[in-house]
Structure 1
């Protein structure tokens, strides 16, 4: 039988945001939306869905912020996009991205942050890089599954797999590895602040 009253360890993340005052958490949300906006502009133009560094930012925010604050940050960023701020890939914003080919991927991002953050709170973090890598791969799998599913409703299953899933598999693997390495480096720097 599982214990539903699980309390995450005090130090699941080197940032320790869960114990910080509200104004620090609010600043972290603002900083997270800025990181997401910048990561969205680092892209490889592809049709119908560009390859960006968004998912790397999403998985790192989940892992470093935890699932609650991570989801809040992703929702704040999506809210910025919905009101028209140019925070999505190629400087886009407004409601069109939420109805077009990228809608499934965008809808998956809060779920991805929740999954990676929830696992990080349970020890799948920078202290255990293989587990962090696995959690980030799972996050990418959720993103590709939901994104591909939505895209299939627009262009058909075969085309969606060819254009919206397969081209992103290698990138997902690389970004998961990079995310785990960044998380491990941040974790080690916290434990050894004298290292430059």
Structure 2
């Protein structure tokens, strides 16, 4: 039976097991993760002032699969790419000005939301416990909406920020959280503990 110390040092949370990989693997994972995040940005439903995309799905998946540290680094690297002019943001958008506009709060919230999901995944909120994985994804989505709406409220007022920056994204957040939990479950099938 594993001790508390051994489970703290090496938590089993990811089918990718990136924590135990060499640095070159981790760098490669960051590159692939930023590509995944960029591709998710092209899947969108245009809305004003903030479009609906698959970004939050990708952000929470990167967090869950990479862990809070490497996930946060990967998401931040993707945002830096966007700020430097690479077409990796929603719909292929690029440029630092997006970080000062209506979507700025959501962009800054992404590394925090991904890190939260990674932190929870490291503590068992993963594919081995699909309900907890769903709740973790839901919490990460909610955090992203809350931080994004707070930023948006400074521009258009609190009521309008909730109407335009939160309400249209609630159903999508629930569906993306369910999809994320299902994907984690599928990816974790071979990683189940013997007692589960």
Return the TM-score normalized by structure 1.
0.92
Residue number in structure 2 paired with 1:159 = 160
Residue number in structure 2 paired with 1:141 = 142
Q: SS where residue 7 of structure 1 aligns?
A: helix
Deviation string 1:64-119 (CA, Å, 9 cap, x unpaired) is 00000000000100010010000000111111110000000001011001100000
Paired with 1:189 and 1:103, the residues of 2 have a C-alpha distance of: 39
Asked whether the 8 Å contact 2:11–2:123 carries over to 1, the reply is no
Asked whether the 8 Å contact 1:108–1:147 carries over to 2, the reply is yes
Shift in Å, 1:190: 5.3
- The within-5 A match list for 1:173-184 is 173-184=174-185
- The within-5 A match list for 1:61-76 is 61-76=62-77
Paired with 1:12 and 1:22, the residues of 2 have a C-alpha distance of: 19
Q: SS where residue 10 of structure 2 aligns?
A: coil
Shift in Å, 1:8: 4.8
Paired with 1:33 and 1:53, the residues of 2 have a C-alpha distance of: 14
Shift in Å, 1:9: 3.2
Shift in Å, 1:148: 0.5
Residue number in structure 2 paired with 1:93 = 94
Paired with 1:190 and 1:110, the residues of 2 have a C-alpha distance of: 26
Shift in Å, 1:12: 1.2
Shift in Å, 1:11: 2.3
Paired with 1:190 and 1:12, the residues of 2 have a C-alpha distance of: 9
Paired with 1:29 and 1:106, the residues of 2 have a C-alpha distance of: 18
| Segments of 4+ moved more than 3 angstroms | none
Asked whether the 8 Å contact 2:33–2:74 carries over to 1, the reply is yes
Residue number in structure 2 paired with 1:19 = 20
May I ask how many residue pairs the two structures share in their alignment?
Answer: 188
Return the TM-score normalized by structure 2.
0.92
- 5+ residue gaps in structure 1? 192-196
Q: SS where residue 153 of structure 2 aligns?
A: helix
Residue number in structure 2 paired with 1:58 = 59
- 5+ residue gaps in structure 2? none
